[in-house]
Amino acid sequence: MNRTRPVIAIDGPAGVGKSTTARVLAQRLGYVLVDTGALYRGVALAARDRGISWDDEEAIVTLSGEVALSLEPGADGTPRLTIDGVDRADEIRRPEISAGASRVSAYPGVRRALLDIQRSLGRDGGVVLEGRDIGTVVFPDAEVKLFLTASAEERARRRARDLQDRGMTADKNQILSQIRSRDKADSTRPIAPLRPAEDAVILDSTSLDLDAVVEHVLELVRSCDSSGSPGGSTGPTVG
Ligand code: DC
């Protein structure tokens, strides 16, 4: 695949800082940002709107093929999820929708339905996609692949702060137990489980600040620009 600008794939568990890292990177590089988790969250929220149980696989898969999910640039340029044309970007962040997204993302039919959307958003490069299986399934040929990790405690702390910043209440212990159960569900599902691609650079961000993580990825992008080869194939494993 000859793209003039790279596809940057950022994968990792819940609350690790993928969204913030991806947003800053996209701003710095002038790339499009694709938050793929928002699409799974959109399916979960659309199901709740329609009174469909997250356990009803058949109905959820049908819904994921029918519902119009779109990522539209918001006032600050950050993409906002719309469902059937209506902005739902704030509602999809609620903790109960996180649980629903984890549930519906385990259905192979849902993953298939969302694959085409993700690929069409990234096809031309100049894009930062963040999710769980970008480097392994959605863009196995991504020029830059980063797998971010951090301890569950640190991730719970970051997620609690994020919710508070958005004016929502946050119980850190509850968030920690949700993170642990989502980690388990996301990494043990048979289809597209959460795991680093073989050629991903693995970065443990537990004690790294955002600038350090962003700088590291920019370095990978620069090395891929100059060599024309995937940043992760020769890159170090850091952390
Ligand atoms: O990144 P997030 O917390 O917004 O993701 C919500 C859920 O969607 C999460 O439980 C895992 C799932 N997901 C996925 O399975 N594959 C992706 N590419 C992105 C998210």
How many angstroms separate the alpha carbon of residue 10 from the centre of ligand 1? 12
Summarize pLDDT for 164-203 with one digit per residue, the tens.
888 888 888 999 998 898 888 888 888 878 899 999 999 9
CB 35 within 8 A of CB 19: yes
Summarize pLDDT for 72-89 with one digit per residue, the tens.
888 887 889 999 999 999
- pLDDT computed for residue 182 by the predictor: 83
- pLDDT computed for residue 237 by the predictor: 40
How many angstroms separate the alpha carbon of residue 123 from the centre of ligand 1? 20
Residues in the ligand 1 pocket, defined by CB under 6 Å: 14, 36-37, 40-41, 98, 101-102, 105, 131-133, 182, 186
Contacts of residue 10, Cβ cutoff 8 Å, sequence gap at least 6 = 18, 21, 22, 25, 128, 129, 130, 131, 134, 146, 148, 217
Hey, what CATH topology would domain 7-238 get? Rossmann fold (3.40.50)
How many angstroms separate the alpha carbon of residue 36 from the centre of ligand 1? 7
Summarize pLDDT for 103-157 with one digit per residue, the tens.
999 999 999 999 999 999 999 999 999 999 999 999 999 999 999 999 999 999 9
For the question of whether the overall pTM of this predicted structure is more than 0.85, the answer is yes
Q: Residue 231: pLDDT band by 50, 70, 90 thresholds? A: very low
- pLDDT computed for residue 226 by the predictor: 62
User: Coil, helix or strand for 164?
Assistant: helix
Atom of ligand 1 nearest to the CA of 182: 10
Which among 11, 20, 36 is the best mutation to test ligand 1's pocket, defined by most ligand atoms within 8 Å of the CB? Answer: 36
Which residue's CA is the closest to the ligand 1 atom numbered 18?
Answer: 131
Instruction: Kindly state the percentage of the chain with pLDDT values over 70.
Output: 93
